[in-house]
Amino acid sequence: MSDPWVSNTQKWLNINFSPKAGFSRLDEDGVSGWQTMYALTRSLQFELGVSPLSDNFGAGTLAALTSFGSLSASNPGKISNIVKIAQGALYCKGYNAGNGGFTGLWDATTQQAVTSLRSDLGLGVSSSDLHPKIFKFLLTMDAATLVANGDSVIRAGQRAMNARYINRRNFYVVPTDGVFQRDIHRALMYAVQYELGLDDDTANGNFGPTTKSKIQSLANIGEGSVDSSKYFVRWFNFALRVNGFASTFSGSFTATTASFVKSFEQFAALPVTGRGNVQTWGSLLVSTGDDSRPGAAADCITTLTSQRLSTLKAAGYTHFGRYLANTIDNVPDKELKRGEAARIVSSGGRIFPLFQTGGSEPEHFTAQRGKEVAEEAAVTAWANRIPANAVIYFSVDYDISDPEITRNVIPYFRAVNDNLSKHGRSYRVGIYGPRSVCKQVSAAGLAVFSFVSDMSTGYAGNIGQTLPTNWAFDQIQTLTVAAGSPGMIEIDKNIVSGRDAGVSALATATNVGDDPLIPSARFAAFGTAWFDHCYGYGDSALQKSFMTNNREAVTGWVRTYDSFITGLARKYKVYKALVLTPLIWEGLAIWGSDAAKDEYVRSFYRNLEKQAANGNEVPSPEQVDSSTGPAQIFARTAILARTWARDAKLITEREYKFSAWRDRWEVWQKLSTDFEYSIETCLLVMMYYANTRTSVGATDMRYLTPAQVMSALTGYNGDGIYGRKRMTLYYLIQRWHQDFRS
């Protein structure tokens, strides 16, 4: 609703300041908002000589205003515009600063407005002085009166803070609207430190060693404790209130208080004492709580060798958070390694699977990426033998805002939920992130459990937020366990709630031994599955049309050469998916222009052959090449891979050199016309990249991890996105061949 006094304020600002550098013209809509507050702030800075002008009322502005002094009857505004700015701000806050409008006079009506403001803020009615810190508060959108969603008990605490600490150097006037939010959370931490006797040079709003020590010695309160000169019980009750308990802003620690404490301690997985000890204070005041308390879960990016696992188990850790996959660049190399999951569960440990290949920026969170992430997580979980019904935790790894949660994260998690159980086994969705996003995603029914990133104590999503009711793991500290020993490892320590038991047994091993032939009765269904999968990844309508046109030919290759491919897989000790993945995708993705490129290569080398046949000396020509054949391989790539295979004693053939045009022409023709040669080369190319990019031995290709599969495919095409997307096709083929075994 438009307010004429706010409109008058906006008009005055436009007339007096909008022509000046550093100002913009305001809409004169009579609606108080941040743009009006920013304009008032800049106007005050201009009048005080603060430069450069800023929307932020920072330390420089406060220092200049403090030097100027409080506005009062004895200091009625040496510069009348400063009084007018104060009057405008009072109008915007809903106080009548004078029916005469912008008089610039510190008259009785203006003084009464300030007295009313001071009363609302808890500062009493004995003064009408506009203290610099109160002026700072005026230039915000914070309220001094109870708002519709406010809590009167919280408001009582806010007013007490202002009254008790306004003269402390690092304490600023807080809103008294009854809402617990970031600034109140910070102010509460200062309030406790002030009561503990910390001076202005020591109190810093952090729950550090000094604060912990003094709480343990001075504020270890329990049933029967009563405040006298110190507000320990009051602030403890206040902390209980903002954590969801029906305590009052009272100075008495009652039996009811003790029952609230026990409930909170049980919920937060603290020792149940019913007292305000350092651990309970910590968990009420800061997201990590007392981060020195023991935890039973460790998440890390480091492979858990037998030695590291023994180190962690000896230190009391029973649950282990490990990543299912790497990012495209494999940096850091954080995924579960061959045999690692089995090593964890056989030792009696439990795994809580993590998936993060992005999530540190809002652009990651789209419905399309959610669909892709669900598939990637499902296939990597399947590959690591994570059993059905396990919870996979998907990351939101930054201080996300509420609008971004609604706009980006909710659609992303909806897509994850819709697609996660379509790829081999049924899994459940968990979320890793700050408290706010965990709660909102869980409230939308899109996460069964939360893994809370409480170490990020400065995140807005953690400050002033209660623990999610479905929290399973609470990340509180990064530390190095057994420093200096062979089993040393850096981990993030987590508290375990017990809601998610974790994975204590793996699914039955799959794809043991040689892959079978594709049963003729299953061939059509298998063909439909891989075609639909690839078609869903088509980048454009044109590419999808080529896929449709190429489908019959690729289906024919898979059928015709299945026996040959099965033999190759047995010979080289690989799974058929290693060759079928590029063969199927590249065959489907052949474009019309590829035929023209191949024809150019043929014409080029036939012309060279003609010149040589006529006895002409043929100079070293340009190295013309194209991707050709069913698996679209360049002669350069084929020679590279086959040379590696020859050196590894996988094949026997003469040496080919790409620099010799007759060699590359011979290899190119074989790739183009001899399908068995081309298919074998396709497999050798994949083996070459798996070996050279990930150091997998030539005879260990059946033990590729998902990241190694992705890396080999990335090498095949030279594109990490290609590698990531085709990895999911690899595991689709794997799952089908597992079914063919039965």
pLDDT digits (tens, 9 = 90+) for 364-419: 999 999 999 999 999 999 999 999 999 999 999 999 999 999 999 999 999 999 99
Extract the tokens encoding 457. Answer: 């104590």
Looking at residues 325-330, what average pLDDT do you find? 91
Considering only the C-alpha atoms of the chain, give the largest distance between any 2 of them, rounded to a whole number of Å: 113
| pLDDT given at position 76 | 63
CA 682 to chain centre: 37
Extract the tokens encoding 406. Answer: 């609604």
User: Residues 209-240: pLDDT tens digits?
Assistant: 999 999 999 999 999 999 999 999 999 999 99
> At 598, is the pLDDT very low, low, confident or very high (cuts 50, 70, 90)?
very high
Partners of 352 in the β-ladder: 321
Cβ-proximal residues to 85 (8 Å cutoff; 6+ apart), any chain? 40, 43, 44, 47
User: Residues 615-637: pLDDT tens digits?
Assistant: 877 766 788 999 999 999 999 99
| pLDDT given at position 364 | 96
Calpha distance 131→133 (Å, rounded): 5
365, 367, 370, 374: CA torsion to nearest 10: 170
Calpha distance 461→398 (Å, rounded): 9
Calpha distance 132→75 (Å, rounded): 13
User: Residues 68-111: pLDDT tens digits?
Assistant: 988 887 766 555 899 999 999 999 999 998 876 778 888 889 99
Dihedral pair phi/psi, residue 353, rounded to 5°: -70, 135
Instruction: Please report the DSSP string for 87-115 in residue order.
Output: HHHHHHHT----TT-S-----HHHHHHHH
User: Residues 472-514: pLDDT tens digits?
Assistant: 999 999 999 999 999 999 999 999 999 999 999 999 999 999 9
What is the average pLDDT value for the chain, to the nearest integer? 95
Calpha distance 375→379 (Å, rounded): 6
- The secondary element (H helix, E strand) that includes residue 437 is helix 435-443
| pLDDT given at position 620 | 67
User: Residues 247-257: pLDDT tens digits?
Assistant: 999 999 999 99
Partners of 319 in the β-ladder: 297, 350
- Residue 613: exposure state from Cβ atoms within 10 A (0-12, 13-18, ≥19): exposed
Where is mean pLDDT largest: 16-30, 78-92, 603-617? 16-30
User: Residues 284-317: pLDDT tens digits?
Assistant: 999 999 999 999 999 999 999 999 999 999 999 9
| pLDDT given at position 497 | 98
How far is residue 670 from each of residues 320, 400, 442, 569, 633, measured CA to CA in Å?
51, 55, 57, 21, 11
| Tokens 């609604």 belong to residue | 406
Calpha distance 355→351 (Å, rounded): 13
| pLDDT given at position 661 | 93
| pLDDT given at position 614 | 86
| pLDDT given at position 71 | 87
Looking at residues 113-130, what average pLDDT do you find? 95
Cβ-proximal residues to 334 (8 Å cutoff; 6+ apart), any chain? 301, 302, 322, 323, 326
Question: How many residues make up the chain in this entry?
Answer: 742
- The secondary element (H helix, E strand) that includes residue 240 is helix 232-242
Cβ-proximal residues to 678 (8 Å cutoff; 6+ apart), any chain? 629, 630, 631, 633, 670, 671, 672
Q: What percent of the chain has pLDDT over 70?
A: 99
Calpha distance 503→510 (Å, rounded): 18
Angle (deg, nearest 10), helices 278-285 and 182-195: 150
Q: What percent of the chain has pLDDT over 90?
A: 92
| Tokens 């190119």 belong to residue | 668
Cβ-proximal residues to 65 (8 Å cutoff; 6+ apart), any chain? 44, 48, 132, 135, 136
Give the N- to C-terminal CA distance of the chain in Å, as an integer: 71
- Closest C-alpha among 705, 706, 339, 356 to residue 506: 339
Helices (H), 537-660: 541-560, 562-572, 577-588, 592-613, 635-647
| pLDDT given at position 106 | 87
- The three-state DSSP-derived secondary structure of 509-541 is CCCCCCCCCCCHHHHHHHHHHHHHHHHHCCCCH
Cβ atoms 459, 487 nearer than 8 A: no
Strand, coil or helix: 494:
strand
- Closest C-alpha among 344, 348, 301, 297 to residue 319: 297
Calpha distance 538→585 (Å, rounded): 10
Cβ-proximal residues to 448 (8 Å cutoff; 6+ apart), any chain? 391, 428, 429, 430, 442, 470
Looking at residues 150-169, what average pLDDT do you find? 97
Tell whether the model's pLDDT for residue 518 goes beyond 70: yes
